[in-house]
């Protein structure tokens, strides 16, 4: 399958590292002009440089803006007025005892993980429908379905994204615009190796360590290893393509079989 996104512009929120950076790279390789987003000019500049090394000749637009705020969203729309592909990847996570999560923390997780995506969808969806082509995606998590005891506020925000995605898919019905969410499973991102080695023997080689971690702490996984960000990016690039024109309103799993269900 050859995916060609030449002539399309994509905005990937929270794309200076991890899954977001992998998605930005995948879209650039497919020919899209990619807007890379982070909160500071320094982190965005570094990410843009790294992407151009991986994809020589890539068309990249730096978007330094805190998209968890209305002002940040306005700045992004000012820098990139028209977007054909919107990937809502921005998110925060953290562990906390369920009874100790404050009102402010509940609000922060909703603001960053959910409302930021809603604002940008609200800003860009009308242009997509007017042009009769567009792709909107929300990067969710297995936590949307398997609520983690240590991260109920995070799970709540990811569950909300599934509802938001389905709702906006209905809003875009018949327009040529597709709206989907991607359910990412346990992923090998920055800092996760330290987390894994906190739970398994430190002298194990990484491949053995992550498999020991998955067996002991994520036994539901059928993949039995962490997912690489590029594997999630592959699904996102496909959903961004013309080939995915009949896939909308869905919650597609790249979870390594972590969620024990036949359908999401």
- Residue 190's pLDDT band (boundaries 50, 70, 90)? confident
Q: Are residues 196 and 88 in the same domain?
A: no
Q: Are residues 18 and 131 in the same domain?
A: yes
To the query of whether residue 138 is one of the catalytic residues in this protein, the response is no
User: By CB neighbour count within 10 A (0-12 exposed, 13-18 middle, 19+ buried), where does 34 fall?
Assistant: buried
Inside any domain, residue 258: no
Q: Are residues 138 and 204 in the same domain?
A: no
Domain count, the chain: 2
Q: How many angstroms separate the CA atoms of 152 and 185, rounded? A: 16
Q: Are residues 241 and 127 in the same domain?
A: yes
Examine the pLDDT at 195 and tell me if it is beyond 90. no
CA 123 to chain centre: 18
- Residue 125's pLDDT band (boundaries 50, 70, 90)? very high
pLDDT at 16: 97
pLDDT at 264: 64
Which residue segment(s) compose the domain that 204 sits in? 190-226
Q: Are residues 26 and 58 in the same domain?
A: yes
Q: What is the mean pLDDT of residues 184-194?
A: 88
List, in sequence order, every residue forming a beta bridge with 227; answer none if it has no partner: 187
Q: Are residues 117 and 141 in the same domain?
A: yes
Number of H helices, E strands in the chain: 9, 7
Q: Are residues 46 and 105 in the same domain?
A: yes
Q: What is the pTM of this model?
A: 0.95
From the candidates 154, 197, 238, 258, give the one annotated as an active-site residue.
154
Q: Are residues 36 and 159 in the same domain?
A: yes
The string of pLDDT tens digits covering residues 147-156 is: 989 899 999 9
User: Any idea what DSSP says for residue 36?
Assistant: E
Inside any domain, residue 32: yes
Q: Are residues 64 and 172 in the same domain?
A: yes
Q: Are residues 21 and 117 in the same domain?
A: yes
- Return the SS3 of 10: strand
% the chain with pLDDT above 90: 91
Closest CA to 217 of 186, 174, 191: 186
């Amino acid at each position: 399958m050859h995916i060609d996104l030449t002539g399309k512009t994509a905005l990937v929120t929270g794309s200076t590292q991890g899954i977001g950076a992998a998605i930005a790279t995948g879209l650039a390789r497919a020919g899209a002009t990619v807007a890379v987003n982070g909160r500071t000019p320094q982190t965005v500049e570094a990410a843009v440089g790294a992407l151009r090394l991986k994809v020589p000749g890539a068309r990249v637009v730096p978007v330094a803006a805190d998209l968890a705020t209305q002002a940040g969203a306005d700045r992004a729309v000012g820098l990139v007025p028209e977007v054909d592909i919107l990937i809502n990847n921005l998110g925060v996570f953290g562990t906390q005892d369920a009874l100790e999560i404050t009102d402010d923390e509940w609000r922060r997780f909703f603001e960053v993980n959910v409302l930021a995506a809603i604002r940008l969808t609200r800003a860009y969806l009308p242009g997509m429908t007017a042009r009769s082509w567009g792709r909107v995606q929300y990067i969710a998590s297995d936590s949307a379905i398997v609520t983690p005891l240590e991260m109920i506020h995070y799970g709540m925000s990811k569950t909300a994204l599934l509802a938001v995605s389905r709702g906006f898919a209905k809003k875009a019905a018949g327009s040529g615009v597709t709206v989907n969410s991607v359910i990412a499973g346990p992923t090998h991102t920055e800092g996760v190796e330290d987390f894994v080695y906190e739970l398994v023997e430190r002298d194990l080689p990484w491949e053995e360590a992550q498999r020991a971690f998955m067996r002991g702490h994520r036994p539901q996984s059928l993949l039995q290893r962490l997912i690489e960000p590029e594997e999630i990016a592959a699904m996102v690039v496909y959903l961004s393509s013309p080939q995915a024109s009949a896939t909308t309103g869905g919650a597609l799993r790249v979870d390594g079989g972590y969620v024990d269900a036949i359908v999401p």
